[in-house]
Chains A and B, each alone.
Chain A
Amino acid sequence: MGQSQARGDWVNEVVDKYADMVYRIAFTQTKNRADADDIFQEVFLKLCKSAVAFETDEHIKAWLIKVTVNTSRKFFASAWNKKTVKLPEELAHDEENTDVDVVSAVQSLPSKYRIVIHLFYFEDMLVADIAKTLKLKTATVKSQLSRARELLKNKLKWRI
């Protein structure tokens, strides 16, 4: 098999396998498709340029998650006015309406809460794995999940 074809096969394999995951993480961080599109492409190009020798699929997955999160943050670095992420603004929805879109509710959370919620509830990752991937302490992830659930509970009026 020629090297060019081997490269092409690898590209197809890795993008097909992780495209949805990367895109969804980018979307949770950016809250819009246009920015998620940009970040999606940037992350996979970074994968090409990476000097990391990936040993397992889990290794690649963790790397992609981390890089997507970081790339999303840098995307807003220039626009970020050197202030911490504040508590979410009130939803535009009627808060008595229990049919509030859950994705919107999650997206109203601070970015650090959004990513742990997404990785825990959508990617079904364990707290320890989330902590390892994002290079956080396990206690930090637990704290963020707990805080995020409280905020979501208030917004969704549901038991999470």
Chain B
Amino acid sequence: MFEKQYKNEMEKVAPSQHLISLTKAAMRAEMEPKRQRSVFKAAVSLAMAAAICLVLIGTMLLTPQADNAFFLKAYAMEQQSDGTIELREVDLLEQTSHWSSNFDGKELYLNIDLKCEGENIKSVDFYTDDGFFAKQQLKIIDGKIIYEAGVPAIGWTDAEGRSTVTMYGRDFEKIGSEFTLNENDITDDLLLFLGMELTTEDWDWVKHIPPQMAIRAVATFHDGKTQEETLTLDFSSGMGVGRGPVHTPEEIRKHIIEITDITKITDAFISEAKNQGLGEVEVNSVEISGEPDEGYKGIWRVTYDVLPENGTEWLVNQSCDVQLSINERDTFILSETNGEIAQISPSGYTVKILEE
């Protein structure tokens, strides 16, 4: 009886034809081709890895020659006081940039975006003595990046709403300390990284990065002539805003965090936790099964992504291991932890499980 009556009543609830027409028109407008490098799915991270955005567009700035032109510029993503990110051209010696990065306790990968721009360029050879080059290949179908379930991604959205992926997953293909880009090699599905070995358990791993890393590039033109330039990545002032624990709880609360999955992975209860910088973050969208009884205790693996507004970084399909607690207001609170049961992440949190 309930089902029948509920169906009868809900059948009367429908969108107006006016709303449908407006929506269709808006969709068609949205789908008109735009000048975008990639389609994005934006999210911002709860994980406190140094997932700060950098897109460094480097081309070679050389003394222009008669028929050959080859330009090097650095475009830094600079975070403004209101949290938005602007792209501005900077002198190579004063980079104030954000870097998309992945650190697993042993190796660090930094997104770099090397472009060959200019006239008559046949190829550019890149060399580094400060690490190695690596790449990722995105899967693009019909101009859209395909995000596989469970694969984390990092990207950024500029103030105009244009977004790009700067890291997809945690698998990187090492290329070596030198590689060549031919004029047709730069495609939208190619992401380039500068990698280095960095073995540390220090939560503030950023301070172990060399103050500067150099990439040398030699351009070869179609007429056979060559030119050389050095691009210096300057980390002496840190890796941009949010070095170490990237966001304050207040900054996190600005973002809408969407929990896509939460699964208990152990009943072990952390009675001692050392949070280095984040503190507790309330996430309104978390809903735990059942009543808030003792079953909430334990370590939960939270998978999440967040849609920020334009001018911010984003992450998708990220996961972190958390301990839940509830306060007198029946609000579930996430305290990010790294337990012995999980891989130590570069978020900087260490926890010792004392009870089973």
Neighbour of A77 across the interface among B14, B256, B289, CB < 8 A: B256
Neighbour of B146 across the interface among A4, A51, A80, CB < 8 A: A51
Kindly provide the distance from the CB of A22 to the nearest chain B CB, expressed in whole angstroms: 8
Chain B contact residue count (CB 8 A cutoff): 46
Are A15 and B144 neighbours in the complex by a CB distance under 8 Å?
no
A45 at the B interface (CB under 8 A) = yes
Q: What per-residue 1/0 map shows which CB atoms of A53-87 lie under 8 Å from chain B?
A: 10000000000000000100110010010111000
Are B144 and A53 neighbours in the complex by a CB distance under 8 Å?
yes
Are A15 and B282 neighbours in the complex by a CB distance under 8 Å?
no
B93 at the A interface (CB under 8 A) = no
Judged by DSSP, the binding face of B is: mixed
Judged by DSSP, the binding face of A is: helix
Neighbour of A7 across the interface among B19, B28, B147, B282, CB < 8 A: B28
B3 at the A interface (CB under 8 A) = yes
Q: What per-residue 1/0 map shows which CB atoms of A123-160 lie under 8 Å from chain B?
A: 00000000000011101100100000000100010111
Are B261 and A103 neighbours in the complex by a CB distance under 8 Å?
no
Most buried by B among A8, A41, A80: A41
Interface residue stretch chosen among B4-12, B62-70, B99-107: B4-12
Are A121 and B3 neighbours in the complex by a CB distance under 8 Å?
yes
Chain B residues lying within 8 Å of A83, measured Cβ to Cβ, are 329-331
Within 8 A of A (CB), among B5-40: 5-7, 9-10, 13-16, 19-20, 22-24, 26-28, 30-32, 39-40
Are B30 and A49 neighbours in the complex by a CB distance under 8 Å?
yes
B267 at the A interface (CB under 8 A) = no
Chain A contact residue count (CB 8 A cutoff): 54
Are B26 and A45 neighbours in the complex by a CB distance under 8 Å?
yes
Chain A residues lying within 8 Å of B329, measured Cβ to Cβ, are 82-84
A-contacting residues of B (Cβ < 8 Å)? 1-3, 5-7, 9-10, 13-16, 19-20, 22-24, 26-28, 30-32, 39-41, 141, 144-147, 256, 258, 260-261, 282, 284-285, 287, 289-290, 307, 329-332
The 5 A-B residue pairs with the shortest CB-CB distance, nearest first, are A140-B289, A23-B15, A48-B30, A160-B2, A84-B330
